[in-house]
Chains A and B, each alone.
Chain A
Amino acid sequence: MVKSVPALLVLKALEREVTHGYRIANWINQVSDGALELQEGTLYPLLHNLEKKGLIVGEWRREEGQREVRVYRLTERGHRQLRQDESIWKGMAAGVNRVLNQEGGVAHDPI
């Protein structure tokens, strides 16, 4: 099983580009057509947890308008973890979909 779906989404977002928490949350929200919303209360502790595990690395950068932001990038370990979790998730989702797409069902014998 995938340990954390939000972690998988964050790793996926960071595979695309080196970016900050705000953009990660926005990207996930946009790509999922608003179905997935990563709240700040989940996002930042998650980012810091992933950083602690060595899956991502954060650094402060100065953006346009002199704003300082902390951007994150995937590490080699993060890439490996993403590949692994992605594969597990896809297999699991396909399995769940097959179960849900089963039409009808076995008729129960009335007692």
Chain B
Amino acid sequence: MTQFEFVERATATIASNRRASMVRRELLSHLDMKQTELIENGIDVVDAEKLALESMGDPAIIADQYYLPRTSLKLGTLILAGIPLLGSAILALQSPPDVLIWMIVVATIAVIAEPGASLTVRFHGLGQTLNASRLLVGVSALEGLAQVIIMLSGIGSPTGPLLVIVEFIISWLIVLYLCWQRQPGSRWTPGALAWMASLPFLAIGGSAFWLSHWNSAFLVWWEQLRSFTMMGMSLAASVFVLAHLWEVIQALKARDVHASAKRATRLSSAPQQD
């Protein structure tokens, strides 16, 4: 186990990314100090790293201390989910459902249903943790906000299709960057994979949609692709939602097991009374 794997495991139960990142930085700083002290005492660098890590004990013990069952949705999550919802509601009133609405709805579900980390990637150097689905949702939220502003300001919707393609490019760049930066310990969940699977449909549909607005010659192409795109997006969105539900159930099960284990520990350590 490396130091990064250790801090990752030790902070696995912390729900807040920002808080987990802070604890990871602190633990790494502690390990660094321990290692320096050992080196100053004449221990070899490699051995010092190993010994420092061993002195920390089992990361599960630290993780257990931070374990708190998630009981409520955070305000930030609600705001983030609210903006795309508002955007999609306005769009739905303005025009029939299209790619944008699907995308925004999927992103909203991602925020609400997300039980923990879907695709978490750590930037150890910065002591940061970024969650791919949160980033993607963040992009969707920005887009939703832009839609709201566009609709309310009366500019019209020529920028709408452009936003689809811009969001698509940004989303893919984020995904590619996260894949490139992926560190040991991060995991691909069915939810994350389903989200990825929806992106090619978004690419095809989004491009066609954009081109049809740019040049009416592409309108036929868009009309032909519309049902295909919708079907793919719907399928991916369904898998995404089901995968997330499965993750939520697993997380709840784990919470029950954890609570039972804690109860059992308390009972076994309680003084016996005759």
Contact = CB atoms under 8 A, between A and B. Distances in A.
Q: Binding site of A, secondary structure by majority: helix, strand, loop or mixed?
A: helix
B27 A40 contact: yes
A39 interface: yes
Given A22-B34, A41-B65, A67 B29 contact: yes
B62 to A, nearest CB: 5
B213 interface: no
Interface string A64-97: 0001111000000000000000000000000000
A12 interface: no
Chain B binding surface SS class: helix
Contacts of A69: 29, 33
Contacts of B34: 22
Interface residues of B, number: 20
Contacts of B61: 39, 41
Q: Of residues A20, A45, A60, which shows the largest number of chain B Cβ atoms within 10 Å of its Cβ?
A: A45
Given A68-B25, A70-B25, A41 B30 contact: no
A45 B66 contact: yes
B23 interface: yes
Contact of B29 (A20, A39, A41, A46): A20
Interface in B1-46: 19, 22-23, 25-27, 29-30, 32-34
A68 B66 CA distance: 23
A40 B29 CA distance: 12
B84 to A, nearest CB: 31
Q: Chain A interface: which size bin?
A: 10 to 19
A48 interface: yes
Scoring B30, B32, B56, B57 by chain A CB atoms within 10 A of each residue's CB, the highest score goes to B30
B23 A44 contact: yes
B58 interface: yes
A44 B57 contact: no
Contacts of B32: 67
Given A67-B32, A67-B33, A44 B62 contact: yes
B210 to A, nearest CB: 45
A41 B27 CA distance: 10
Interface of A: 20-22, 39-42, 44-46, 48, 60, 67-70
